[in-house]
Structure formats: C-alpha cells, structure tokens
Amino acid sequence: MKNHHELLEVFAARHVQPGFRERFLHEALKKPGKLQSRICHTISDIFSERYRDGTCPFVAEESCIPICGTGIDCLEEHRWAEVQKNATPSFGLLVISPDGSKFYAETEHDYRRPSIPYSTST
C-alpha cells in the first residue's frame, strides 16, 4: 500500500458497513479516540454481524497494523505478538492486515457482559 489512506480505503471497502465507510476513514485518520469509542460501544455500526464472535486471524509473528486500542504506534506495522502484549484486553481494539484483507476487533467489556470479538475468521 502506498499510504495509510489507501490501506484504510481498501479495508473499508472490504469490511466496513457501506454507510459508515467515509466516517470510518475520517475517524481512523483524524480521530482515533472517537473510532475506539465506537469499537467499544457501537461496533455494529462499523462491522456486519457476520464478523461477530470471530477468532483472531493473526499468529504471533505475523505483521499487522493497529488502528486503535493499543499503547504502541497506530497505523504502523508491528508483529501480532507485540500488539497483543501492548493492547489493553477488552477495552476496544482494531487491528488489520497490511493488505486490508483481514482484521480483529474487540468491544469493551463491562460487568454485565464480556467483550465481543469481530474478525474475518468466524
């Protein structure tokens, strides 16, 4: 991919709900905190229910790009093991593959319900 915007466009076209794609691009690039809040609380605005309850499609040494929800540089390529180590589990996470073909996301959990994973591996 040439740049972050191009990668996010490819990812959004493949996985983000059609009516939310422009908003997703804007928030991913300009307001990652807002996007993380949506991942935490209203993830179904972003992703179809067909991705719900998916398993993580990344293995430890695989490259991935965190979009939000980690303590490391977002929109930079990292190994999944590094992202997993630095992420705060169950507090909103979105990680995509370097080609935009797959992703893993988690909602926030609360005392009434656990976090819900969304991914391309269901």
Name the residue with tokens 């994973």.
117
- Six-digit token pair at 26? 């804007």
CA 8 to mean position of chain CA atoms = 11
- CA atoms of 59 and 118, how far apart (whole Å): 16
Query: What is residue 72's predicted lDDT score, i.e. its pLDDT?
Result: 78
* Pairing label, strands 117-119, 103-108: antiparallel
Tell me the pTM: 0.92
- With beta carbons less than 8 A apart as the criterion, state whether 21 and 87 touch: no
pLDDT tens digit sequence for 1-50:
458 899 999 999 999 999 999 999 999 999 988 998 999 999 999 999 99
Residue 98's closest CA among 70, 67, 55?
Answer: 67
Query: What is residue 1's predicted lDDT score, i.e. its pLDDT?
Result: 47
pLDDT tens digit sequence for 49-58:
999 999 999 9
pLDDT tens digit sequence for 59-99:
999 999 999 877 777 889 999 999 988 887 667 899 999 99
- What amino acid occupies position 63? S
- The one-character DSSP state at 44 is G
- The one-character DSSP state at 66 is E
Query: What is residue 2's predicted lDDT score, i.e. its pLDDT?
Result: 55
